[in-house]
Structure 1
Amino acid sequence: MRKGLVAAALIAIWFVVGCFEKEAVAPIIDETQDVILRMEYELRPKVTFDLELRFGVNQKNEINTKERTVVKELQNGETAVLRDFELTDKERQSIYKTLVLADYQENKTLTTACNKKPHESFDLTVKVANESYHYAWSECDKSEDGKRMTRLVEDIIGTVEEREEYKRLPAVQGYYE
């Protein structure tokens, strides 16, 4: 029975990511092909959805959808700021889907401890409707929750970095030792 549930979960992830990309609901199917759970990930149009993500060495990079800003640290003591930044509906849906798949509403066991100098750390606050969720961890957190949350923020960062207005920001000019 347990093997069947694990297999069903893996199949569900494959379905959500691949076959059902345009669907708002993804099924989890057991070995008899019966739907045992349907996962909804469509963000309703009137639902408030904002995130504030600070990341990098000293968390000087920031994506803040409520304030509509993106801050890029140039690693030379300066930052570049992108104002009036808004995610498209497609990007919002994609990020929300990634949040759902990362099980963002569940408690996470994360750690900010890290012996590496310098190291990247992450601070993420997600607001959906009237609920708020906060997470903080470092790149040294190799727990399942830490890896899952790191993949999540990499997707968010990647979405922003693909935008033309972000690409027009100055390049990083320094480095950390």
Structure 2
Amino acid sequence: MAGSTAHGKGRTAEVTCVLPSCHGLPIHDTSSSGGDAVPFPGSGTRSAMAGIKALISLSFGGAVGLMFLMLGCALPQYNQYWPLFVLFFYILSPIPYCIARRLVDDTDATSNACKELAVFLTTGIVVSAFGLPIVFARAELIYWGACALVLTGNTVIFATILGFFLVFGSNDDFSWQQW
């Protein structure tokens, strides 16, 4: 901090940046001035950048999970597309919880039957998604290596879906509703 000077309507503090990327350029604080100074870069976009980083990492997780699913189907030694039926479970898994969130008021601190039913149905869908490739492998419709790749893809996809609801599901200053 080099010091501060008083200007016209308000007080503007001149601060010298100490980061190596700034090369000692002056930074102006606009907290008490009339808005004529340049704001600190990135000061108002911190939560938006965190949301964008979360969205990019969740997209990457979804892509990796689908890659494992496609590898379990399309590798030349496996060459069976039966595991693609787990895509229906990926689509169905968030639906009960989304419906329950719409129907239930979150101000109630105790658990209610609607949310408990939604969690139960979601759990059934997730368990079915893990069971289907195992049933296919036991019936010798797919190989066990393909089953392992599909189960790995299931783990990554469902972790991504859970991460989406954890990051964008709350009603704080940054939520998925603004997208």
* Normalised TM-score (structure 1): 0.26
Bigger CA radius of gyration: 2
* Normalised TM-score (structure 2): 0.26
**Which structure has more helix as a fraction of its residues?**
2
